[in-house]
Structure 1
Amino acid sequence: MKDLNIITEQTIALPETPYQARHYINGAYLDSADGQVSDRMSPSHGVLVSQAALGSVIETEAAIGAARAAFDDGRWSRLSGKDRAAVLNKVADLIEAHEERLALIETLESGKPISQARGECGGAADLWRYAASLARTSHGESHNALGDDMLGVVIKEPIGVVSIITPWNFPFWILSQKLPFALAAGCTCVVKPSEMTPSTTAMLGEFLTEAGLPEGVCNIVLGYGDPVGSLMSTHADVDMVSFTGSTAVGKRISKAASDTLKKVALELGGKNPQVIFPDANLESAADAVTFGVYFNVGQCCNSSSRIIVHEDIADAFVNRVVEMSRHVAFGNPLNPDTQVGAIVTAEHQAKIDAYVSDAKEAGAEICIGGGSLQVAEIGSQFYQPTVVRGVTPDMAIVREEVFGPVLVVQTFKTMDEVIALTNDSDYGLSAGVWSENVHTCLEFSRRAQAGTIWTNTWMDGFPELAFGGVKQSGQGREIGQYGYDEFLEVKSLVMRVGDTRAPWVKMP
């Protein structure tokens, strides 16, 4: 650990008091009826960061009822796209105005570095603005070649009440990949953030009110998956569930929602490879691999948690990634120079370590790291940058989502072999390919089973481009036109022009 780049200095003061997060239902902030709250301790500083109202069936029913009433009376769904866009753009302005406040609480609740939290929270405003543009440009289609006396019109209508359930790793960003698009479509919503990172979502209620969103259109209920998330997934008055989280929970939500046949959109796990061909820009590829595995402490569905590198360059390339890993700044999240912060919980840290330990016992080589990391004055809830070689395809560390700063190395000889290794996974969220030969990149991109393929880059994203996975990485898409369309139902209007219909009944 001595040769790692560890930052202990803190440049930003801790808040004097914990943030008090409350439910936001029908335009008002509310405590739980039974007065229950949950405490969130910072994973990096050991202080009480926030106290959140702990929701029950009572609050969840009230939120769903408010969303149902708001949708059915048309206070939002029947507004013009122009009027909905105006509100969304005001929310974007308020997000940017409160970027530092949002980022600080997210850093303390999640353990991520303040610089990344700023980028996530402030950058989310762009998602709201893009969704606003879709509200104004949404349209259906017409069919006027059905005959002289027929006209067909296809229109798009909001699906109704949407339950949005978000995870702890990117609480404000992932919320902004869903909520503004649902609102742009004219839906009303009930939102449940993770109980570990509830505060930025709770803060959003202030911005919605100030921006002029009508009461009941968006409601926020804080609490645990049971009972809050469970009821949001099964209630008959909910028309759609949009969930981001683990594949295991996503499967349970699909089963729970099936009784009412509501639509379900899932963004789940990944075991994402970056594939390195010998003709790649190896320095750039090594930097992208290092970024891809350590960004957000590896607690990211898009983490490039495995690399598949051509055997001719494997030794040199892995050595370069290991050397770069020594220079990544791990440590105090409240220092802008920190690149990798804390693990979200001690239990999750133990799970990460178990994957590495089991691989080592099975014969894998630990090139760097492989254990917890003590950071002076802020604790031990950190994990060393870890690179693992000598693995076999059946190892859990190769097949399962570790969700930590752990990179697994595999090697290949031919295109067919690397495609087989890439696709030998239950997941299919994203993949990357590095080569200076466009034909190599195109062939890999066409054959790889993943929702996103990055070519000579990693994790570049834009509001215009849809995001989502195949296989057990999920179903449906977020952001972009396709993500917006998830929240719409298609209705066909078939109209006869004039009284030209031939009678079916032959009257005497």
Structure 2
Amino acid sequence: MNAPLTDLSRIEVRRYEQLIDGKLGESVSGKRFTRESPAHGVTVGDYPLGDVEDAEAAIAAARRAFDRGDWPRMSGKERSLVLDRIADRIAENAEELARMDALESGKPISQARGELQGAEDLWRFAAGQARSLHGIVPSGLGEHMLGLIEREPIGVVAMITPWNFPFVILSQKLPFALAAGCTVVLKPSELTPGSTLRFAELLEGTGLPDGTVNITVGYGNTVGQRFAEHDDVDMISFTGSTEVGRTVSRAAAGNLKKVALELGGKNPQIVCADADIEAAADAVVFGVFFNVGQCCNSSSRLIVERSVADRFQQKLEELTARVPVGDPLDPETKVGAIINEDQLSKIEGYITSAEKDGARALCGARRLKTEAGRFYAPTLMAGVTPEMAIAREEVFGPVLSILTFDTLDEAIGIANDTQYGLSAGIWTNDHDRALTAARDLRAGTVWVNCWMDGFAEMPFGGVRQSGQGREQGAQAIEEFTEMKSVLFHRGPRADRWVPDAKAG
């Protein structure tokens, strides 16, 4: 562990309100709840607890704002200016928002600051996309016909965001829906709602019309369920576990609303014998221990060529021993706290099961004793085989499963042998191997000689049970649109269906 935890007297309990139809206030019931920091064990926030009635009010406000309000009818330029003003507010308040995320989730403050920079960039990119959305004019329909293929906002979009990246995932969804002209109802996770509710306050004075964005906090089986099943919601965008994603899809089937899902992953990094071992080892350690492994993009599977496996494992042990674990508010910390006791117990269960199946821990595999909070030691598990649960299921903790291969075909086969398909990576100096892996790995993103490098310009999402649809990139705004075909006829109607009365 790093230095002792922050002086608890410096941590204030902040009181928040929800946002519906442009007004900040309490939930319909007046109920509230609190959240403890998973690192410090003290209360850090006091929030309104929404329920079905709050979900209904939020949806009604968004429906009015879409059907009769100004936002969908504004020009792309006007919407772009508003999104840029919101990005300015995010930049001005980035340190406060990052601290909220660090306290509520247990993530390192340095990481949270980086996420806020990324969030601001996403809003600015989306602002540009608001002016770039365009349709198509087919040119071969004949001299009497003009065809227009337009893109229109899909309508009211419900968004459900997770606890592990509270603000940046909001920013992967919300600005693109707004750029398209949609109105939104949003439910952040009840574990980390603070930065989202603070964001609701920052929207005042940006030019965003009332009801365009509505935010309420509640549980998945109440607010989330109502968002998913409501007939006045045209689309739902959900980020979370694959299991809950299936529930969202079933609930959304009632009115056949569009569903976008960003779900789990069991992401592999393949390391070939010809790779830059130093660089690959650093990226593997980063990939699995980033955000304490509580990340859908976590590279929780290492598939290393057998001829260099022992040397690579030794390097991983050396690096892991130097990873700073401790207080999320310490800028030097790289690995923070586990979100809650249930998640910590789940991690321990996977370790116990793997050891029973013959795997062995090279390091870690234990809770860390601390004065407060929940911390788990960064863990390397060797002797893992593809059929073990720890190699197939999402652990969501700082645990690396190490597997070996002899041929690239074998490595790709191991990598693809899972229900997921979010991301994958390969480390090699052989261009042919790199291209083969890039084409054959079944994943929405493939990294070659890097890991988790991301840009607003690049779409992100998964295949198979890692989800459907894409966030970020020019494609993201299209996710929140419908295509409409419009046909114009010029001149007299030439081909009469009903015969002319004078004929014959």
Q: Is the 8 A contact 1:26 1:217 kept in 2?
A: yes
Separation in structure 2 between the aligned mates of residue 8 and residue 396 of structure 1, nearest angstrom? 35
Among 297, 302, 306, the alignment partner of 1:302 is: 297
One-letter amino acid of the structure 1 residue matched with residue 468 of structure 2: Q
Match of 1:233 in 2: 228
Q: Is the 8 A contact 2:5 2:40 kept in 1?
A: no
Query: Is residue 491 of structure 2 the alignment partner of residue 498 of structure 1?
Result: yes
Q: 1:10 to 1:16 in 2, by over 3 A?
A: closer
Separation in structure 2 between the aligned mates of residue 8 and residue 260 of structure 1, nearest angstrom? 54
Q: Deviations over 1:80-100 (max 9, x none)?
A: 000000010001111011011
Among 145, 167, 171, the alignment partner of 1:172 is: 167
Secondary structure at 1:485's aligned position in 2? Answer: helix
Q: Is the 8 A contact 1:332 1:378 kept in 2?
A: no
Per-residue deviation at 1:75? Answer: 1.1
Separation in structure 1 between the aligned mates of residue 223 and residue 421 of structure 2, nearest angstrom? 29
Separation in structure 1 between the aligned mates of residue 294 and residue 323 of structure 2, nearest angstrom? 16
Separation in structure 2 between the aligned mates of residue 76 and residue 278 of structure 1, nearest angstrom? 55
Per-residue deviation at 1:501? Answer: 3.1
Separation in structure 2 between the aligned mates of residue 100 and residue 133 of structure 1, nearest angstrom? 25
Match of 1:118 in 2: 113
Q: Deviations over 1:214-258 (max 9, x none)?
A: 000000011111210000000000000000000000000001101
Match of 2:480 in 1: 487
Spell out the pairing of 1:439-458 with structure 2 (5 A cutoff): 439-458=432-451
Separation in structure 2 between the aligned mates of residue 104 and residue 336 of structure 1, nearest angstrom? 11
Spell out the pairing of 1:326-337 with structure 2 (5 A cutoff): 326-337=321-332
Query: Is residue 210 of structure 2 the alignment partner of residue 195 of structure 1?
Result: no
Q: Is the 8 A contact 1:9 1:335 kept in 2?
A: no
Q: Deviations over 1:185-238 (max 9, x none)?
A: 000000000000001000111222231210000000111112100000000000
Query: Is residue 216 of structure 2 the alignment partner of residue 218 of structure 1?
Result: no
Per-residue deviation at 1:11? Answer: 6.3
Among 44, 47, 50, the alignment partner of 1:55 is: 50
Among 364, 388, 393, the alignment partner of 2:386 is: 393
Per-residue deviation at 1:497? Answer: 1.5
Match of 1:3 in 2: none
TM-score (ref. length: structure 1): 0.97
Secondary structure at 1:477's aligned position in 2? Answer: coil
Moved more, 451-460 or 494-503: 494-503
Separation in structure 1 between the aligned mates of residue 5 and residue 86 of structure 2, nearest angstrom? 31
Match of 2:397 in 1: 404
Among 465, 484, 490, the alignment partner of 2:458 is: 465
Match of 1:425 in 2: 418
One-letter amino acid of the structure 1 residue matched with residue 262 of structure 2: E
Residue-pair matches, total: 501
Match of 1:378 in 2: 372
One-letter amino acid of the structure 2 residue matched with residue 388 of structure 1: M
Separation in structure 2 between the aligned mates of residue 70 and residue 28 of structure 1, nearest angstrom? 14
Please give the root-mean-square deviation of Cα atoms over the aligned residues, in Å.
1.1
Per-residue deviation at 1:395? Answer: 1.1
Match of 1:268 in 2: 263
Per-residue deviation at 1:378? Answer: 3.2
One-letter amino acid of the structure 2 residue matched with residue 492 of structure 1: S
Per-residue deviation at 1:47? Answer: 0.7
Among 347, 352, 360, the alignment partner of 2:342 is: 347
Separation in structure 1 between the aligned mates of residue 7 and residue 71 of structure 2, nearest angstrom? 41
Q: Is the 8 A contact 2:6 2:327 kept in 1?
A: no
Q: Is the 8 A contact 1:371 1:384 kept in 2?
A: yes
When you count strand as a share of all residues, which structure comes out higher? 1
Q: Is the 8 A contact 1:451 1:467 kept in 2?
A: yes
Structure 2 gap ranges (5+): none
Separation in structure 2 between the aligned mates of residue 321 and residue 211 of structure 1, nearest angstrom? 48
Per-residue deviation at 1:103? Answer: 1.0
Query: Is residue 300 of structure 2 the alignment partner of residue 319 of structure 1?
Result: no
Per-residue deviation at 1:391? Answer: 1.6
Q: 1:14 to 1:158 in 2, by over 3 A?
A: farther
Match of 1:281 in 2: 276
TM-score (ref. length: structure 2): 0.98
